[in-house]
Chains A and B, each alone.
Chain A
Amino acid sequence: MNQTLLQVEGLTRFYGPLQAVKSMSFEVRQGEVLGFLGPNGAGKTTTMQMLTGNLAPSAGSVTVAGHDLLEDPRAAKAAVGYLPEQPPVYRELSVDEYLDYCAALNRIERSKRRAAREAAKEKCGLTQVGRRLIGNLSKGYQQRVGIAQAIIHLPPVIILDEPTAGLDPIQIREIRHLIRDLGRDHSVILSTHILPEVQSVCTRVQIINKGELVLSDSIEGLAQRMQSSMLTVRFRQAPDRDTLDRLPGVTKSETRDDGSWRLYHDPATDPAEALVTLSVERGWGLTALIPQQASLEDIFVELTTEETAPAEAKA
């Protein structure tokens, strides 16, 4: 059931002297929705183009459902559905005409094309617009046509490049819902720079920066990483650092410019209770106790900004 559908090893891409993707390796299993997160220009699109055979890698290999993309491109490509950043639609065709053509391109037998087209339309909420010209549809619907095109041949792996870019909030919600549904039967890889999107649809996250994978974790792991956080506390009469460090669970403490303290602690043991008790006993005058959770944004910024990230974040 949980077999590996996409295997990437040492994927590298040069544009001239510029190394856009640096020896990237990862796997996607069946039923996973993998979020590809990274700032603009991090190499997300380049990676996706290589996964779908639109761009030849400078080095490395891609295996889709057991077929090597370079050695057996036909079988590998048949197992992938791809929605590029801009949906590859012909504006002068109607939705039905276009999807029939896509079905034919993906070698669906003539007798089964109609059924495939209707099923894809059904999934993407396009049943009402089958006869309309794609050029006359709104951006959100064009995006759906793009997704319908990617899933019409029921590929095991679906790759979506920024599927919600340029949509309004309601459309974004609908597309996310659709992606979650797709994740049940297919493996989905989607790229985005919108952080909540990852939290709401993905089961696994990979953060990519300057062509390198800097983080690869499940959503649960990420949630844990976010919890393992800190308390911000403020005292009228601060105790010395040693006392704070000896509190149960505290791993590190530091003073801040505004006179408050930051206590980093183990996610398993929350020192808040002990801290309050001690404060009352010894008269430290605790005035503020704010539990703080790192957000995905903090992690993202930490991993992708120029300054060297603290060592523990990389662990």
Chain B
Amino acid sequence: MNYMSIKLQNVNYIYGIGTGQEKHALKNINLEINDGEFIGLAGHTGSGKSTLVQLLNGLIRASGGTIYYNGQNIYDKLYNMRDLRSRVGLVFQYPEHQLFETTVINDVQFGPKNLGLPQLEVELRSFKALKMTGIGDDLLDVSPFTLSGGQKRRVAIAGILAMQPEVLVLDEPVAGLDPAGRDEILGLLKKLHDDNNITIILVSHSMDDIAKYVDRMLVMNNGEIVLDGKPAEVFQFEKELEQTGLGVPQAVKVIHQLREAGASIKGKPVTAEESASAIYNWLKYS
């Protein structure tokens, strides 16, 4: 059985070595990401999240330490870095800024074409990806630059999905979208994870988004992973989270405040619905 995972061992990353403005962005990161996990990566600006995700598909090289993908050292001389990039799909922040083709369908085809697939396969994957992201057939032949912000974002994400990665990493995929667009994209990720068993790493600083969707949560601060666990467990550390400038979801905050006031609410609710039923149970049975 080929068990798939990403493993980081003592990974360090330093920006601007030898320029007099060095910045230690990642400090001794040890992390294992298992196949099929839905991970939320949180941390405020400059905590090293973006640096970490770029390491995962080999876009930048760690200043120290090793990264293993499926047990293979990606810094090995013989390791095929382009193959890694097709397996670990990375959607950057504001991915709509990378669109360049004349039509939507051409832009989505760019990724799979680079993989050297036959034309039929390229088209099949592209249509499928566009369908998944909810881009209608009427938009396939228009210029991507004429689309709305949310549509552009979905086309850009489709461009990565068309490569059919095993691991999908998204850096703030819902930044700047309206609530409807946000739910749509996060719902799509959930569906991808549940149906196709893709490993998803979602970088976000919205604790509410993370609480609702992920199974495991990582919190970064100053280039270190400070908390790692299920959202319900991580949110117990409200003080620590606030110190790193993050806080907890609104629903968790309400529960914590009620408890401080003396309410004996059971369980570790995370989402608004869970909190509501926990409060309901407390009112009913106490």
* Real binding pair: no
Q: Chain B: residues with CB nearer than 8 A to chain A?
A: none
